[in-house]
Amino acid sequence: MRTVGLALALATGAFPASAQQASSWDDLRVLDLVERGTATRQAAAMDGLRAYTADARGYVYFFLDRQAGEERNLIKTDQLAVRVYWKAPGLTRQHILGRRDDRRMPTNIRYHLDHLVIIQENFGDVIRIGDGDEVSSVIHPLAPGAATRYEYLLADSITVAFGDGLAPVRVYEVQVRPRDPDQPGFVGTLFLDRETAAVVRMNFTFTPASYVDRQLDYIRVSLENALWDRRYWLPHRQSLEIRRKLRFLDLPVGSVIRGRWEIAGYEFQADLPDLFFMGPPIVRNPDPMLAFPFERDLYAQVDEEGLAPTAELIDIEAEANRLVRGRYLSGLGRLRLAMPPLSETVRYNRAEGWVTQGGFNLRATNRLQVGTLLGYAHAGDRPLGRVSAVFEDPDRERPSTVGFDVFLREPRDIGPVPGSSRIMNTLSSLLRQTDWTDPYFATGARARATRSFGPVSARADVRYERHQGAGVVSGGEPGGWRPVRAIDEGDLTAVRLSASLGSPDRLFAEAGAAWAAFDGAPYREASLRLAAGRRWLEHGVALRSTLDAAAVSGGAPSQSLYLLGGRETLPGYDYRSLAGNAFWLLRVEGSRQLLSPWLRLRGVGAAGRTRLGSAEVPEAWDAHPSRITRFSAGLGLALGWDLVQVDVVRGLNGGSWEIVLDLNRRFRDLF
């Protein structure tokens, strides 16, 4: 017995001319192919196959992801070793031989048992997931009578190439969608072997009515079979992703369970008596006996690949949307209350006092979302808010989004980076009259568009804004607040183009340019951001560095200047005491786990400089350009699941000691 890897490529002239003709939904050719596939699945034995055993190795991840899908916070990792048994006609059993896990954040999650094993026989005639608590009554598209529930389209012809000098196997790509999208159903693609109509691959999701649990956003499944012993299409790789959110409350984060499996070590003609399959189909050793000599480290896969979805899982979304013509596919309600992170739902600062916000999001279709966020600044006695519409085109080759926003008194901060997390700024404002923002307000409209070209993501932003200055309106001790820096009030019109490459978790680059006019005076801006990061979770080590640089020409308003110094930029120097119309800033962090999950040792460093050309820094700002490059370095601790960081840092040339307390940057948009 030997395993044979497979690679997919477009076939050229691999099929008879009749198979290359334009196809239509439910034409005779595809219905005949589906009938053959159904017969193959129902056969008691496949080409003499009577029984087999196999070894499966898998990882199950539980993590948080954001709306944009970039940042992901790993909560729990499980590694499993499973022995798989099968005997004709359809007797199955799986034995969990080994399991180990680790928690990166607090959780009491308990998985359904079928999340901890592989999927055999490409599901049965009725697809069930989560022991029926998640999906329970979806008819398989190759089940008897499934043609009355589904439409089929012969979409393409694919060649599956093998090693070991074997001839390639040709398969058909069959797209499937339910006749009634309001009923439980399968939405996706089947790849069927041309000779036997056996399933080579299945990539699919479900209609909203399929979900039993109404907190399910979606479930996506990718099953890949390989040709074993040169005759049998049996499981090779599998991926399952389940995303949940609160049913009625649209928070900017969801929880994801993702399983990734590899199956190998097939042995055929195994002596498996029928009595062996009596009892539950999934069994496991008592927990004390689950120790197993795993071939790979617990975090080996996530260290190598990260938590980004595989190409198959990404394609499932785009293909499903196209098949159902953009109909709504999420299991969540279309209209839901929208809540920003806690620190934005309720916040406090010297320029607004207490601010409360909330709104709603309407998912009109699977591609169009409309949202509102309305709030009130109590000390200033002023409303604020935003209305947005976003259209998404999940084309698998060039996904794109187009959005339009109208906003009222949207708070801005003189840059280039926030001086604190929002929740820490609220706490420091309340307890110490220390507000780390330099706020002003913008009212206007913005149109934005993004499009991906392979690994490159391009973005265009066009906006018109009216800028208004802020002042101290909150109470407190006289003179206790840091003065609010005055800005140039007026009208801004701007066009900004940018392109990015890579992932913020690993290697990332973004460059942008803007052409703008403020009260009729034109100016230009250019920016660059480079980031590199790597985590070795198995060893508790993490490294990260970022380089930011930007320059703005003469004619720009004062709020376009850049401020460095103090926390988040150059700790150990007076807060935002260095100003200019150009800057660069390098920040480096390294850490190692000391006592998991409570204590992590951190090392931090920074270097940066501002430069002032033809622009002028307002005298009241009490800031000046830096004549030399400033350096900072220090040590710190991350406490309690790495949520809170305490760093002691010194400015190395002309600076002093500073203690910086804040949330980990990776969690700031959650609170």
Q: What's the confidence (pLDDT) of residue 68?
A: 57
- DSSP helix/strand/coil, 588: strand
Helix (H) or strand (E) holding 88: none
Measure the CA–CA gap between 505 and 71, rounded to whole angstroms. 7
Measured CA distances, 393 to 12, 317, 449, 510 (Å): 29, 11, 11, 22
Please answer whether residues 150 and 138 qualify as being in contact, where contact means their C-beta atoms are separated by less than 8 angstroms.
Answer: no
Residue 628 has φ and ψ, to the nearest 5°, of -135, 165
Distance, in Å, from the CA atom of 352 to the CA atom of 422, rounded to the nearest integer, reads 14
Phi, psi (rounded to 5 degrees) for 423? -70, -35
Q: What is the pTM of this model?
A: 0.88
Instruction: Check if the beta carbon of residue 496 is closer than 8 Å to that of residue 461.
Output: yes
Where are any strands of DSSP class E within 33-144?
Answer: 51-66, 72-87, 91-103, 126-129, 135-139
Average pLDDT, rounded, for the chain: 89
Read off the pLDDT of each residue in 479-498 and give the average, rounded to a whole number. 94
Phi and psi, residue 34, nearest 5°: -65, -40
Residue 75 pLDDT more than 60? yes
* pLDDT of 69: 53
Confidence (pLDDT) at 577? 95
- Average pLDDT for 567-577: 96
CA dihedral over 478, 479, 485, 487, signed as positive or negative: positive
Between CA 170 and CA 174, with CA 171 as vertex, the angle to 5 degrees is: 160
Evaluate the CA torsion angle 465, 470, 475, 476 in order and state its sign.
Answer: positive
Domain 527-671 has CATH 3.20.20.70: no
Share of residues in the chain with pLDDT > 90 (%): 66
- Residue 459: pLDDT over 80: yes
Whether the pLDDT of residue 19 is over 50: the answer is: no
H-helix or E-strand spanning residue 6 = none
Q: Where are the alpha helices (DSSP H) in 295-386?
A: 300-305, 311-323, 342-345
- Pick the range with the lowest mean pLDDT from 77-81, 141-145, 285-289, 446-450: 285-289
Q: How far apart are CA 150 and CA 145, in angstroms?
A: 9
> Could you tell me which residues come within 8 angstroms of residue 545 by beta carbon, excluding any fewer than 6 positions away?
531, 532, 533, 586, 587, 588, 589
What's the pLDDT band for 164 if we cut at 50, 70, 90?
Answer: very low
Region for residue 129 given its phi and psi (left: phi exceeds 0; alpha: psi -120 to 50; beta: otherwise): beta
| Structure-token pair, residue 59 | 């990882």
Radius of gyration for the chain, computed over Cα atoms and rounded to the nearest angstrom: 29
Residues of the chain with CATH 2.40.160.50: 527-671
Please return the burial class of 487, using the count of CB atoms within 10 Å of its CB with bins 0-12, 13-18 and 19+. buried
Residue 302, φ and ψ in degrees, nearest 5: -70, -30
286 contacts: CB under 8 Å, gap ≥ 6: none
DSSP string computed for 373-391: EEEEETTTTEEEEEEEEEE
Q: How far apart are CA 368 and CA 361, in angstroms?
A: 11
**Residue 145: other Cβ atoms inside 10 A:** 9
> What is the tens place of the pLDDT at every residue in 234-287?
999 999 999 999 888 888 889 999 999 999 999 987 788 888 888 899 998 776
Cα–Cα dist 254/640, whole Å:
22
Interval 460-469: pLDDT, tens: 999 999 999 9
Percent of the chain with pLDDT over 70: 93
Mean pLDDT on 48-72: 85
In this predicted structure, the answer to whether residue 45 has a pLDDT above a threshold of 70 is: no
Q: Report whether pLDDT(165) > 90.
A: no
Work out the average pLDDT over 547-573.
95
Question: Residue 9: its pLDDT value, please?
Answer: 35
The amino acid present at 148, given as its one-letter code, is T
What CA–CA distances, in Å, run from 392 to 185, 278, 311, 398, 640?
A: 23, 50, 19, 11, 38
Q: Grade residue 167 by pLDDT with cuts at 50, 70 and 90.
A: low
CB 198 within 8 A of CB 46: yes
Query: Rounded to the nearest 5°, which phi and psi values hold at 315?
Result: -65, -30
User: Are 405 and 388 a contacting pair, CB within 8 Å?
Assistant: yes
Cα separation, 197 vs 216, in Å, equals: 33
Structure tokens at 582: 């150009």
Rounded to the nearest 5 degrees, what angle is found at the Cα of 102, between the Cα atoms of 101 and 105? 140
For residue 14, pLDDT over 60 is answered with: no
Which residues, other chains included, contact 624 with Cβ-Cβ below 8 Å and sequence gap of 6+?
577, 578, 579, 617
* Predicted pLDDT at 238: 95
Residue 89 CA to residue 282 CA, distance in Å, equals: 18
298-335 pLDDT, tens per residue?
999 988 888 888 778 888 988 898 898 878 899 998 99
